Structure 1
Amino acid sequence: MSEQPITVTPTRTTTPFHTDIAELNQLPCEQVAALIGDLLYNPPLGDAIAADQPFRSLEHLLDAAHRELLRLPRVEVLSSIQAHPVLGEETTDIYSRAEQSFILESPPEVLADIADLCRRYEDRFHHLFLVCAQGIGGHEVLRLLSRRLNNPTVTEWETTVRELGRINTLRLRSVIRG
């Protein structure tokens, strides 16, 4: 008697999926690509990471995610950045909502200041302000936004990609056990 294949349905807006490396390795490459691509807002990145399957460990998966992010064309990285919700704005995305929980609890005037600086940031750098927001509040975001608005464009792009990598790692760790 053969076992039924494991089916894990990705979703960005309702219920998170949870799995471990062994279960992930049992899934078809296309399903792993879809799950990871959805989780990280980047289907081509999901495809590239899934191509490294089977994963020896969670660290192997995280290494693949980091390596493949750095290999993506700039337009693909930008697409992933732009898919994230604006910091401080309500979102139905369960992962972003959890990551931004402390920011979303900020007083209205702090959220208004964040919105204003985010607009200024987008005007200057032509992409969303991105920071791994897990555990930081609105005042910290304002400090980071103010500081990063003064970065040279190249430095800020590198910082943004680094933050995207941190977010990707956080998300992968939150849904996949080693």
Structure 2
Amino acid sequence: MTSSTTPGGLARFNALEEHAAHAALREACASTAWVRTLLAHRPYTTPDDLFAASDAAMAELTAEDLAEAMAGHPPIGRPKPGDPTSSREQRGMAGASAELKEEMLELNLAYQERFGHVFLICATGRTGEQMRDAVKERIGNSPEQEREIVRSELGKINRIRLARLVEEENV
């Protein structure tokens, strides 16, 4: 495989030293197992190959691996200070009313009490109201149902983050 057949950002990612690639992937997902799996399959020929590897790795994560991945995500409505990724992804809550932000805080706490982890949703492109409605709907799920929804939402988030990683001029 030559870099002339691989998109530029992906070629740069493939060429990263192991520790730098590990750090870049860790920014996308906090699961050690997911990161290891994606590193083990480098180099990738196309972004779709990278996304497929991510999806396959997500499908194999244990409950403990999912918990580790979720621990890397701040609650909806409270992005990590100084973290442009969580701020960008949660943009839908930025202009929310004080009432909606307070309601999301209460719902986040109720969800966390029920499931033992942060409410996780692919927030990109969603309004604050859509995220509120999603937590209200999902809080009634069984833990097993919710674990699989979380797995799916994490997969969506990882794809978005990986796309940004391989599109960026400097990985």
The interval holding the TM-score normalised by the smaller chain is 0.7 to 0.9
SS at match of 2:71: helix
Which residue of 1 is the match for residue 15 of structure 2? 26
1:117 pairs with 2:107? yes
**Partner Cα distance (2:105, 2:78) in 1:** 8
Shift of 1:31: 2.4
Return 5+ residue gaps in structure 2 as ranges. Answer: 1-7
Contact 2:30/2:71, CA 8 A, preserved across alignment: no
1:41 pairs with 2:20? no
1:60 pairs with 2:49? yes
**Partner Cα distance (2:55, 2:116) in 1:** 24
**Partner Cα distance (2:49, 2:166) in 1:** 12
1:150 pairs with 2:140? yes
Shift of 1:56: 1.0
User: Greater RCO between the two (CA within 8 Å, min separation 6)?
Assistant: 2
Percent identical pairs in the alignment equals 24
**Partner Cα distance (2:17, 2:79) in 1:** 34
Higher mean displacement: 96-105 or 65-74: 65-74
Contact 1:90/1:104, CA 8 A, preserved across alignment: no
Contact 2:120/2:154, CA 8 A, preserved across alignment: yes
RMSD over aligned CA atoms reads: 1.6
Which residue of 2 is the match for residue 170 of structure 1? 160
The amino acid of 1:48's aligned partner reads T
Contact 1:78/1:127, CA 8 A, preserved across alignment: yes
> Which is helix-richer, 1 or 2?
2
**Partner Cα distance (1:116, 1:69) in 2:** 29
TM-score (norm 1): 0.84
**Partner Cα distance (1:90, 1:161) in 2:** 20
**Partner Cα distance (2:28, 2:146) in 1:** 24
**Partner Cα distance (2:36, 2:22) in 1:** 5
